[in-house]
Amino acid sequence: MAKIIEFPNKPKEFARPSVDATKLKSNLIIWKVIAKIFRVTIDFIWVVAVLLFPILSWIIALDCVVQFIRMMYYWHDKNIYAGVTFILHFAVLTSLYIFTFLYKTKDN
What 3 state SS string does 66-105 have?
A: HHHHHHHHCCCCCCCCHHHHHHHHHHHHHHHHHHHHHCCC
Does residue 19 form part of some domain? no
What is the average pLDDT across 7-28? 73
Q: Are 49 and 56 in contact (CB under 8 A)?
A: yes
Does residue 29 form part of some domain? no
**pTM of the model as a whole:** 0.68
What Cα–Cα distance (Å) separates residue 42 from each residue in 48, 72, 93, 106?
A: 10, 36, 18, 11
Given a cut of 90, is residue 36 above it in pLDDT?
yes
Does residue 65 form part of some domain? yes
Does residue 93 form part of some domain? yes
Alpha-carbon distance of 40 to 36, in angstroms, equals 6
Does residue 15 form part of some domain? no
Q: State the residue range of the domain holding 83.
A: 49-108
Does residue 24 form part of some domain? no
Q: What is the pLDDT of residue 5?
A: 79
What is the average pLDDT across 20-49? 89
What is the average pLDDT across 26-39? 91
Given a cut of 70, is residue 15 above it in pLDDT?
no
Given a cut of 60, is residue 108 above it in pLDDT?
no
Domain count, the chain: 1
Q: What is the pLDDT of residue 1?
A: 66
Tell me, rounded to whole angstroms, the distance of Cα 82 from its chain centroid.
Answer: 26
Does residue 32 form part of some domain? no
pLDDT-based confidence at residue 23 (cuts at 50, 70, 90)? confident
pLDDT tens for 38-97 read: 999 999 999 999 999 999 999 999 999 999 999 999 998 888 899 999 999 999 999 999
Does residue 14 form part of some domain? no
